[in-house]
């Protein structure tokens, strides 16, 4: 009964979107009146299309994951391989709290950080792509830390000790044995983090996303993003055309997120199988 | 020193006006060879005009990037004052305090009204000022008392940063209270779409945004239309301003100049506002 | 030489760990410092209990706190039976193929962006609620918590079914050999055994519901009042932040959003601590 209810709801939601929005899925939804090739080469700006928003979301994801991966992985490694038990406990508590902080609070933090930097550091800093990507990095950091830590810790002791017994140093052991072995777990964590960056709206809403900006030129400029576009359209569309493009944007975003999700799933399975059967 | 700054400012304004009147053909020529970014934020009534102008400029010269954000008039004034954006739009005149504090320069490029709107199916099409005050303060809470259906009135309002709200509050509500039951929406566009979906809602919106999806309500017998605003019959009128911190320079100046060219003013008209020229 | 690399690497790892931890603290610090002017002189508790009346100089966030808690609890109450049912379908009652399919769908649902739920909520759910009850604008607590229930149920389902799967096989076999039916097995064995896990799932769901911004912002109506019925419009702490962020930076109104931020921080931290203490109790018992 409850299963049917749930399936019914989700079918309703997705079905409704596709029913309303499928007609809008064509090239002009993305590129507006501009020729696609010129847009892709950044020769001309795109209007009335989703292209700038897609590029915005894309660069946002790349940047924030770029910030978060080194720090996240390094922290994960530290927790799994170096930290003493008591230290680990304290750190884990902090990361659990960080994971629980609502995204809007992180957005608020990013916003105040931007204003603070603007006043005391440099006039050129204001809410922008850089600030947004940093805030998003804070948001996904705990996911990365946790997946890395768990992936490393779940390795069997035999794998862990062999290289050390053969005379490898701790660092060599980590980079040549432990990380390759736990790669599948780490990568699926990364992909989930990417999905989170792509879908989050609350953070970017406070830290620099705008209604119209064109393709962002530098990391210190405003930008557009798909989820914000959907939010914006939902409350202030001015004609049916715009509303329809909102449905289109929903479908695109949904497709991206679902695709990423399956990618994470497949990688996890494929790599686990390889790790299990090849060796 | 002060006097000199003022004189220069005055000269600038004159120059702008002069430019506006003389540059007829190819108003966009000024943007050729320009580069850089221009950040605009604030009043949500302004957005359609800003978008269209930005679109024309950026299609001509892809090296220019213009970003447009909403937020409301208060945000526009604040952000331009803090130097976070280049142009801060406001749907009300900045207060003297704001002008002094931030050294703001105002450019009024259109006249607009604030009209009360309801759902097109609603039978109530005219209200007196007293009725409006009672509706928004929550004293009248059923359409029946106004000759409509026996349904509760859903009041919609804007947040405090809104210039539309400030003007409406001052000129229509006589600075009366707004009921805490009111739903909040974030922009003129949002107000319009909220009312167009709610058969028993009432709200207020920039006259330029009124279209067939919502029905304007006559205020003290005058329907909020462009003509009535233009002729001064409709009293809840206001200017649309673009503000800069100090005198505008470079791209910012060119953008504001563009709004005052015949082409720019044509955009203003096509988006439902009254051009100043 | 290698030794040096070792040390440098270890220090680097430690450094990034410290950076990550300090972010957590820094966020709290920012909220505290920026919200301070409102709290000076012990006004903090006034702030939490006063109504919002900017024209009277009162910036209490009480209506928002009530709004947040109502919507969050209501959505958990609605999502709970649904999730429990689905979880038991997945782990115990359903046929193998169906439960695999259901689990996939639920996992997939966790990946659907929040803003899409909000979008569908505005154009599908809100008009439905308005027509159904013939009262109010349809933007109300009920709509928001219904949508939130859909949002948080996947998290809860996955957690529930995980904890069901951890019930020792021998218990289940014992029931089977005693001739218990599937339903009996579920009600009398699985559910009591997985009680802790269910509670943890509940708290996690609640945390998610507390922290969500978009759904409440888009479909709860945002009126600043202490809601009197399910069909009233209400504002949550999260949407208050999103709405007021635009206000004058120096005003007390603007400061109030940091108080909101802090309340949210505290709420979710409490939830996390709750989950952790449950977890450690669980582990303790196992050992």
At A114-142, the pLDDT tens digits run 888 887 877 777 778 888 999 999 999 98
Model confidence at A255: pLDDT above 80:
yes
- The total number of structural domains that make up chain A: 1
Q: Dihedral through CA B86, CA B90, CA B95, CA B96, nearest 10? A: 40
- Residues 126-155 of chain A with CB under 8 A from chain C are 138, 141-142, 145
Of A185 and B18, the structure prediction assigns the larger pLDDT to: A185
Model confidence at C122: pLDDT above 90:
no
Q: Could you tell me what percent of chain C has a pLDDT over 70?
A: 85
pLDDT at residue B10, as a whole number: 52
Task: Compare CB distances from A75 to C16, C249, C269 and report the shortest one's residue.
Answer: C16
Say if B226 falls within a structural domain: yes
- Residues 112-131 of chain A with CB under 8 A from chain C are 112-113, 115
Model confidence at C119: pLDDT above 90:
no
Locate the domains of chain C by residue range. Answer: 35-286
Domain that holds residue A193: 54-278
CATH classification at residue B187 = 3.40.190.10
β-strands B36-42, B64-71 pairing: parallel
Chains touching A (at least 3 CB pairs under 8 A) are: B, C
Alpha-carbon gap, residue B16 to B109, rounded angstroms: 12
Say if A236 falls within a structural domain: yes
Contact call for C247 and B161, based on CB within 8 A: yes
pLDDT at residue C248, as a whole number: 63
- In angstroms, the separation between the Cα of residue C50 and the nearest Cα of chain B is 14
Among candidate residues B212, B219, B209, the one with its CA nearest the CA of residue B273: B209
pLDDT at residue B26, as a whole number: 67
Model confidence at B11: pLDDT above 60:
no
pTM, entire model: 0.82
CATH classification at residue A215 = 1.10.3720.10
Model confidence at B15: pLDDT above 60:
no
Contact call for C26 and A109, based on CB within 8 A: yes
β-strands B154-158, B183-185 pairing: parallel
pLDDT at residue B24, as a whole number: 41
Mean pLDDT of B87-116: 89
**C31-58 residue pLDDT tens:** 888 777 666 655 666 666 677 766 666 6
Task: Compare CB distances from B160 to C136, C233, C247 and report the shortest one's residue.
Answer: C247
Longest dimension (CA), chain A: 70
Longest dimension (CA), chain C: 78
Q: pLDDT grade, residue B202 (50/70/90)?
A: very high
For residue B194, the chain C residues in CB contact (below 8 A) are: 137
Task: Compare CB distances from C249 to B71, B78, B156 and report the shortest one's residue.
Answer: B78
List alpha helices for C40-113, DSSP H. 44-49, 62-88, 96-110
* Segments of chain A assigned E as strands: none
Model confidence at B18: pLDDT above 50:
no
- In angstroms, the separation between the Cα of residue B189 and the nearest Cα of chain A is 4
pLDDT at residue A279, as a whole number: 35
Of A99 and A39, the structure prediction assigns the larger pLDDT to: A99
Helix and strand tally (H, E) in chain B? 10, 11
Contact call for C123 and A234, based on CB within 8 A: yes
Kindly state whether residues B122 and B227 are assigned to the same domain: yes
Q: pLDDT grade, residue B145 (50/70/90)?
A: confident
User: Coil, strand, or helix at residue C223?
Assistant: coil
Domain that holds residue B77: 35-112+239-275
Q: Could you tell me what percent of chain B has a pLDDT over 70?
A: 91
Model confidence at A165: pLDDT above 80:
yes
Return the minimum-mean-pLDDT range out of A200-209, B193-202, C247-256, C265-274. C247-256
Say if B182 falls within a structural domain: yes
pLDDT at residue B64, as a whole number: 84
Task: Compare CB distances from C218 to A75, A142, A234 and report the shortest one's residue.
Answer: A234
Say if A175 falls within a structural domain: yes
pLDDT at residue C75, as a whole number: 93
Mean pLDDT of A178-201: 83
Say if A110 falls within a structural domain: yes
Mean pLDDT of chain B: 83
Q: pLDDT grade, residue C19 (50/70/90)?
A: confident
Model confidence at B102: pLDDT above 70:
yes
For residue C86, the chain A residues in CB contact (below 8 A) are: 2-3, 6
Model confidence at A276: pLDDT above 70:
no
Alpha-carbon gap, residue C59 to C50, rounded angstroms: 7
Say if B13 falls within a structural domain: no
Q: How far is residue B242 CA from its own chain's centroid?
A: 10
Model confidence at A187: pLDDT above 70:
yes
Residue written as tokens 């039916």? C181
Kindly state whether residues B135 and B212 are assigned to the same domain: yes
Which are the contacts of B141, defined by CB distance < 8 A and separation ≥ 6?
B152, B153
Residues, chain A, total? 279
Contact call for B189 and A222, based on CB within 8 A: no
Pair of tokens at residue C178: 């005693």
Mean pLDDT of C64-77: 90
Element at A189 (helix H, strand E): helix A179-199
Mean pLDDT of C238-267: 79
Q: pLDDT grade, residue A170 (50/70/90)?
A: confident
- Residues 51-80 of chain C with CB under 8 A from chain B are 51-52, 54-55, 63
Return the minimum-mean-pLDDT range out of A224-228, A259-263, A275-279, B83-87. A275-279
Return the minimum-mean-pLDDT range out of A26-40, B199-213, C209-223. A26-40
Alpha-carbon gap, residue A162 to C30, rounded angstroms: 47
Kindly state whether residues B48 and B104 are assigned to the same domain: yes
Kindly state whether residues B117 and B107 are assigned to the same domain: no
For residue B84, the chain C residues in CB contact (below 8 A) are: none
Alpha-carbon gap, residue B95 to A204, rounded angstroms: 31
**B111-136 residue pLDDT tens:** 888 999 999 988 888 899 999 999 99
Contact call for B159 and C54, based on CB within 8 A: no
Kindly state whether residues B130 and B201 are assigned to the same domain: yes
Contact call for A118 and B83, based on CB within 8 A: yes
Of A95 and C92, the structure prediction assigns the larger pLDDT to: A95
Kindly state whether residues B129 and B212 are assigned to the same domain: yes
Q: CB–CB of A267/A188 below 8 Å?
A: yes
pLDDT at residue A137, as a whole number: 92
Burial of A48 (0-12, 13-18, 19+ CB in 10 A): middle
Which are the contacts of B93, defined by CB distance < 8 A and separation ≥ 6?
B106, B238, B239, B241
Task: Specify which residues B89 forms β-bridges with.
Answer: B42, B242
Buried b (16+ CB within 10 A) or exposed e, A7-17: eebbeebbebb
Q: pLDDT grade, residue A277 (50/70/90)?
A: very low
Pair of tokens at residue A30: 């993305």
For residue A5, the chain C residues in CB contact (below 8 A) are: 82, 85
Model confidence at B69: pLDDT above 70:
yes
Q: Dihedral through CA A126, CA A132, CA A135, CA A137, nearest 10? A: -140
pLDDT at residue B226, as a whole number: 85
pLDDT at residue C284, as a whole number: 45
Contact call for B67 and A237, based on CB within 8 A: no
At the top level of CATH, the class of C35-286 is: mainly alpha
- The total number of structural domains that make up chain B: 2
The answer to whether B95 contacts chain C (CB < 8 Å) is: no
Say if A156 falls within a structural domain: yes
Kindly state whether residues B58 and B172 are assigned to the same domain: no
Say if B136 falls within a structural domain: yes
């Amino acid at each position: 009964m409850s299963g049917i209810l749930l399936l019914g709801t989700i079918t309703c939601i997705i079905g409704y979107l596709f029913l309303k929005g499928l007609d809008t899925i064509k090239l002009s939804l993305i590129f507006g009146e501009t020729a696609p090739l010129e847009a892709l080469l950044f020769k001309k700006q795109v209007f009335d299309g989703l292209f700038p928003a897609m590029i915005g979301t894309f660069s946002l994801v790349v940047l924030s994951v770029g910030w978060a991966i080194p720090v996240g992985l390094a922290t994960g490694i530290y927790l799994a391989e170096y930290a003493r038990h008591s230290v680990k406990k304290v750190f884990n508590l902090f990361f659990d709290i960080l994971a629980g902080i609502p995204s809007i609070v992180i957005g608020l933090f990013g916003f105040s950080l931007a204003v603070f930097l603007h006043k005391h550091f440099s006039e050129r800093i204001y809410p922008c792509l850089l600030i947004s990507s940093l805030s998003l990095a804070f948001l996904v950091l705990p996911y990365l830390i946790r997946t890395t830590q768990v992936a490393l810790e779940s390795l069997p002791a035999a794998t862990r000790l062999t290289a050390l017994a053969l005379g490898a140093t701790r660092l060599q052991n980590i980079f040549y044995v432990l990380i390759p072995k736990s790669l599948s777990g780490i990568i699926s964590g990364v992909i989930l983090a990417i999905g989170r960056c792509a879908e989050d709206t609350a953070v970017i809403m406070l830290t620099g996303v705008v209604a119209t900006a064109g393709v962002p030129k530098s990391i210190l400029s405003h930008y557009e993003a798909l989820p914000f576009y959907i939010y914006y359209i939902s409350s202030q569309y001015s004609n049916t055309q715009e509303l329809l493009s909102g449905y289109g944007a929903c479908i695109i975003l949904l497709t991206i997120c679902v695709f990423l999700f399956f990618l994470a799933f497949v990688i996890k399975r494929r790599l686990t199988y390889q790790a299990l059967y090849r060796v | 020193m002060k006097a000199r700054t003022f004189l220069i400012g005055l000269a600038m304004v004159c120059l702008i006006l002069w430019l506006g009147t003389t540059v007829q053909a190819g108003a966009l020529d000024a943007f050729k060879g320009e580069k850089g970014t221009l950040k605009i934020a604030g009043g949500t009534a302004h957005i359609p005009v800003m978008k269209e102008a930005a679109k024309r400029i950026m299609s001509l010269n892809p090296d220019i990037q213009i970003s447009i954000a909403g937020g409301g008039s208060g945000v526009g004034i604040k952000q331009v004052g803090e130097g976070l954006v280049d142009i801060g739009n406001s749907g009300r005149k900045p207060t003297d305090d704001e002008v002094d504090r931030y050294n703001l320069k105002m450019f009024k490029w259109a006249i607009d009204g604030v009209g009360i709107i309801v759902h097109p199916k609603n039978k109530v099409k005219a209200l007196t000022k007293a009725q409006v005050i009672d509706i928004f303060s929550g004293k009248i809470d059923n359409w029946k008392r106004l000759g409509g259906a026996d349904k509760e009135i859903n009041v919609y309002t804007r947040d405090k940063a809104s210039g539309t709200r400030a003007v409406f509050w001052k000129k229509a509500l006589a600075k009366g209270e707004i009921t805490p039951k009111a739903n909040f929406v974030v922009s003129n566009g949002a107000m319009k779409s909220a009312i167009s979906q709610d058969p028993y809602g009432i709200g207020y919106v920039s006259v330029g945004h009124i279209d067939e999806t919502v029905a304007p309500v006559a205020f003290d017998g005058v329907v909020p239309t462009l003509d009535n605003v233009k002729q001064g019959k409709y009293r809840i009128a206001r200017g649309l301003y673009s503000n800069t911190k100090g005198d505008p320079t470079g791209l910012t100046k060119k953008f504001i100049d563009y709004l005052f060219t015949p082409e720019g003013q044509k955009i203003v008209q096509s988006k439902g506002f009254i051009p100043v020229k | 030489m290698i030794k040096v690399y070792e040390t440098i690497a270890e220090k680097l790892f430690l450094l990034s760990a410290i950076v990550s931890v300090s972010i957590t603290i820094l966020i709290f610090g920012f909220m505290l410092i920026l919200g301070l002017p409102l709290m000076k002189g012990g006004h903090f508790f006034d702030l939490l209990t006063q109504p919002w009346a900017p024209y009277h100089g009162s910036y209490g966030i009480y209506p928002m706190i009530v709004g947040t808690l109502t919507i969050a609890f209501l959505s958990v109450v609605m999502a709970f039976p649904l999730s429990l049912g689905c979880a038991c379908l997945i782990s115990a009652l359903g046929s193998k193929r169906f439960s695999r399919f259901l689990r996939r769908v639920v996992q997939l649902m966790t990946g659907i962006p929040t803003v899409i739920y909000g979008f569908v909520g505005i154009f599908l759910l809100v008009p439905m609620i308005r027509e159904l009850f013939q009262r109010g604008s349809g933007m109300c607590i009920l709509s928001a918590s219904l949508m939130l229930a859909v949002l948080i149920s996947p998290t809860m389902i996955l957690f529930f079914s995980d904890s069901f799967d951890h019930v020792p096989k021998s218990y289940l076999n014992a029931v089977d050999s005693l001739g218990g039916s599937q339903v009996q097995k579920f009600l009398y064995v699985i559910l009591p055994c997985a009680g802790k896990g269910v509670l943890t799932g509940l708290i996690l769901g609640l945390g998610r519901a507390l922290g969500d911004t978009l759904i409440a912002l888009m479909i709860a109506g945002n009126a600043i009042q202490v809601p009197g019925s399910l069909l009233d419009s209400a504002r949550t702490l999260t949407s208050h932040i999103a709405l007021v962020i635009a206000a004058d930076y120096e005003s007390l109104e603007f400061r109030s959003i940091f108080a909101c931020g802090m309340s949210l921080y505290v709420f979710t931290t409490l939830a996390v601590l709750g989950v952790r203490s449950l977890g450690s109790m669980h582990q303790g018992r196992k050992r």
